[in-house]
Structure 1
């Protein structure tokens, strides 16, 4: 055989690829293309909890834009495609922490605005007890003690972009002063009404015990989850929107309807900043100033419970208490100037939401993107077609 001819034939660019090679090339291309779209343009999410009801419902599937606020460059670039933090089937980490990039973000179409619905990484998700991932590690430590938690659970750390994804409504941006009084949120002294699709709890007293609760189904209530007895005569707890409760008030067998909020003198130590010296709860809190890039705060016993975690964890400083004040990176400091913008996020289901009232500020490097619209919504019961909430398909998020 002529060697030159054989060599030319073996390297002939017109030679057809094998079926296996074609499939492999197609799969590699699809994975790369889908990853680029997912990281830099748009990503699909699902709503697993009721913290945003009735704005967003369990079973809603969303598209979240990375373009609106500017796509975040991956901070943990070496990761298994399409897995967030845990490998499917086998478990274990779906990423490698050997390569870590600094926080950077591409230019976006706009800044985060108040009332935007935002997806972000859970700020207190830096440390996780793997056997109790549905519980906040820091709450476990507060209730059980550090030694007990670390001996009973497998504790691991997660980089910013591999922490759990949360979705809430942005109530305050950097520089805003947030106050909550009797369940009403005020931003910079101006009361902000709950969005029409948001809901809270109400105490409803009936005129008698003879009530046909099926009536409330027609008003949009789920009588199994939205209505429960308060243990008082003919009094029930309702969870609903302002519009729904206005209809309840009109019913001739209803005696009274009142918002069921916590009293102002009730102290809830689980509420941010978990400070025993503050009489705060989910319905009465603040004032709190949301940090802004370039804003300088005085460091003292009043401010440090609110800003210590942001200074130490989110902005990466070594923070120590000294006999006469605070040391930041070994230097005495009476003030601190923030390097990032922060946000105050809250769920629309105000009495059933783990949000900034518990974990505090959301740093800008935790922001994933803006929720755009619902592309599918599915109930957990019924036949295939009855499960689909047809009225919510391609519904915009406001």
Structure 2
């Protein structure tokens, strides 16, 4: 027993002495802190942090700042939100193919983010760099700007309204939906009520202004057709008076529809005008595996009315949580 205790004592002293010696050696030979060493350490930490942020933004969730009033009432300009990047599958790289997307379709009324079909690329290097800076700074810095200095919208945030195999048409800003297999159209308000959908979508233009907007479009059609404006009917001029002080039509869709209708009536042989007017009158068919996205601020939104349905492959996320401003924090999963 004494031999065992003696063995334990000797080895314990040897171990502690060795540790003390190692510690003394480390203290004596500790590398000196230099300016360049500190810079390198901070740079390594920064690169790692940015890389981690990019991975999180690309594959898990992304912070997004609402840039326009197209979703006003639901999401206002300047609101900051969390966008789930996994709900519809995961993009391998920005705007690239998705994996794990099977059986993860977009549902009606989801608030979605997708790549702007009308976005003009500034080149692959700038596109990648701007995305890295935007995501790496948690959406605080966006160098992707239009010529007028406004933020270029590479991503849109809208609500999924039209689903595959449905027809959507627009009359004086009001939406009518014909579901697959049905003959009749149903107005948007009663359609949403029948499905117990949220009341986020809304109108902001007074219905009485539409006569003026359509008259404006018709007169513009006269002008583009090279006709004498003095020959235009007096009722059009009278109706136009209600909006003549506006710089821009409140509903460009209704304006364009009236313009092409006028051009087609004056010259039925104008195939371009005839085709355009037929398209406006017929509305939009939503093919399978696509959705028609529209803004909740129906009268001030550049949305699917203008660029058409969007493939579900191009939808990269869904708004799930509003975290800024603090007085409006809320979960968005129930829209």
TM-score (norm 2): 0.54
Alignment of 1:1-398 (within 5 A): 18-75=37-94, 103-107=97-101, 110-126=104-120, 164-182=154-172, 183-188=174-179, 189-193=185-189, 195-200=198-203, 201-203=205-207, 262=254, 266-267=258-259, 276-278=273-275, 285-292=281-288, 341-377=289-325, 390=327, 392-396=328-332, 398=335
Pair 1:128–1:24, CA change in 2 (3 A): closer
Quote how far apart the aligned CAs of 1:51 are.
0.8
Q: State the superposition RMSD in angstroms.
A: 4.3
Quote how far apart the aligned CAs of 1:278 are.
4.8
SS of equivalent residue, structure 2 residue 284: strand
Quote how far apart the aligned CAs of 1:281 are.
10
Q: Paired residues, what number?
A: 219
Quote how far apart the aligned CAs of 1:396 are.
2.4
Is the 2:162–2:168 contact (alpha carbons within 8 Å) kept by the matching residues of 1? yes
| Residue-by-residue CA offset, 1:327-386 (whole Å, 9 max, x unaligned) | xxxxxxxxxxxxxx3221111111111111111121233212101121002xxxxxxxxx
The 1-side partners of 2:44 and 2:53 are apart by: 14
Question: Which is greater in Rg?
Answer: 2
Larger displacement relative to structure 2 (166-175 or 20-29): 20-29
Quote how far apart the aligned CAs of 1:170 are.
0.8
The 2-side partners of 1:111 and 1:360 are apart by: 19
- The unaligned stretches of length 5 or more in structure 1 are 1-8, 77-101, 130-152, 155-161, 206-229, 233-260, 293-340, 378-387
Pair 1:362–1:61, CA change in 2 (3 A): same
The 1-side partners of 2:114 and 2:257 are apart by: 32
| Residue-by-residue CA offset, 1:53-111 (whole Å, 9 max, x unaligned) | 111111211111001111211157xxxxxxxxxxxxxxxxxxxxxxxxx6233337831
The 1-side partners of 2:272 and 2:108 are apart by: 27
Is the 1:376–1:394 contact (alpha carbons within 8 Å) kept by the matching residues of 2? no
TM-score (norm 1): 0.46
- The unaligned stretches of length 5 or more in structure 2 are 1-24, 124-145, 180-184, 193-197, 210-239, 243-252, 262-270
Larger displacement relative to structure 2 (165-174 or 41-50): 165-174
The 1-side partners of 2:260 and 2:74 are apart by: 27
Bigger relative contact order, structure 1 or 2 (CA pairs below 8 A, ≥6 apart): 2
| Residue-by-residue CA offset, 1:125-164 (whole Å, 9 max, x unaligned) | 24579xxxxxxxxxxxxxxxxxxxxxxx99xxxxxxx971
Pair 1:369–1:348, CA change in 2 (3 A): same
Pair 1:107–1:359, CA change in 2 (3 A): closer
The 2-side partners of 1:265 and 1:165 are apart by: 27
Pair 1:118–1:64, CA change in 2 (3 A): same
